[in-house]
Amino acid sequence: MTIYDVAKSCGVSIATVSRVLNGSAKVRPDTREKILAAMKDQGYSPNPFARGLGLDSMKTVGILCTDIADNFFAKAVSLVEPNLWARGFDVVLGCTGNKPEDKRKYMQLLKERHVDALILIGSSFREAIDARFAKTMGKVPVITINCNVKYANFYCVVCDEAAGFSESVQLLAKRGYKSILFLYDRVTYSGQQKLKGFREGLKKANLTADPELEILIERTMANAGNIVEQRLAKKIRFDAIMATEDILAVGAQKALVNHGLSMPVIGCNNSILAQCSTPALTSLDNRLDALCPAAVNVLLQVLDGKGAMTPSVTTFEPFLCFRDSFTEK
């Protein structure tokens, strides 16, 4: 039994059946009752893609992230998906991996499935989108979370992580910490913004950048711990640690504890790792709790025909969540 069979048995168009399935008011009550009765009698179960035939909306949104096992992405999906369900949208979730070509394939696939809109979570999607590819998305609005791209029909909801890192450096300097070991894991848009903010903070605090203290590493706890061990073995002086991810900060902090050392350590994302580490980790909160609902609201505005009035970039300010590794006072 298909939507075509229902339409044929009732003597109506496929579009009329679709309107009934989507709750449209543009169907006469008697026709609606006839169609609903036919579906019940014939045991019709609507296909979410067929449901949109003949209508402007599929009531389906695609969500893409690189790795659902990552704490940041998992939390973001958990905040976005129920919000969409509550507004009557079905959700198609995809995990793309990190290769740009795979990200583009997933975006094209969802476009071909006629999703109403696409939500991209994470800054790494920036490297997969250029002006030529952006045009291929056509009329499908794309909302990005913490990824700033400037193309038509793209709407970005971001956190000003550069400002957060700059202010954190200046706060450390104000407290007397002058040699900050900085661990960063990749050069995505987010990573670039964090590195930019760190360097701006050094400049504003009149501190000299030291290449020995700016370390690009793979994002694992063990790697961060090894960097700290190496710097201590080489007697390279540092009196505070900042990291672009909580997992790096926790790894660095564990190495300090193993050596009986204590100094300020600041992570980023304010994840569960920050709360569970010993000592509890001070972390820059990049406002995921605010970014995700804002992204859904932007999506709703655009689908409601208010795209021209919707800002292309919505920015939130981060804040330091102080814990034992670096207290507020």
Q: What's the confidence (pLDDT) of residue 310? A: 86
Q: What's the confidence (pLDDT) of residue 304? A: 86
Could you give the C-alpha distances from 44 to 50, 54, 88, 165, in angstroms and in order? 12, 18, 20, 56
Q: What's the confidence (pLDDT) of residue 261? A: 96
Helix boundaries (H) for the chain: 3-10, 14-21, 29-42, 71-86, 100-112, 131-136, 161-174, 189-204, 221-233, 246-258, 272-276, 288-301
Q: Which amino acid is at 192?
A: Q
Q: Does residue 275 share a domain with residue 173?
A: yes
| Residue 323 located in a structural domain | no
Q: Does residue 182 share a domain with residue 192?
A: yes
Q: What's the confidence (pLDDT) of residue 45? A: 67
| Residue 325 located in a structural domain | no
Q: Does residue 256 share a domain with residue 228?
A: yes
Compute mean pLDDT per 10 residues along the chain, 329 residues long, and list them.
79 84 83 89 66 61 92 93 92 92 92 89 87 86 92 94 98 97 88 95 96 93 96 96 97 96 96 94 97 96 85 95 92
Q: Does residue 167 share a domain with residue 127?
A: no
Q: What's the confidence (pLDDT) of residue 136? A: 85
Q: Does residue 97 share a domain with residue 128?
A: yes
Quote the domain boundaries for residue 298.
60-160+288-318
Q: What's the confidence (pLDDT) of residue 247? A: 95
| Total of domains in the chain | 3
| Residue 329 located in a structural domain | no
Q: What's the confidence (pLDDT) of residue 13? A: 86
User: Residue 268 — φ and ψ, nearest 5°?
Assistant: -150, 140
Q: Does residue 293 share a domain with residue 153?
A: yes
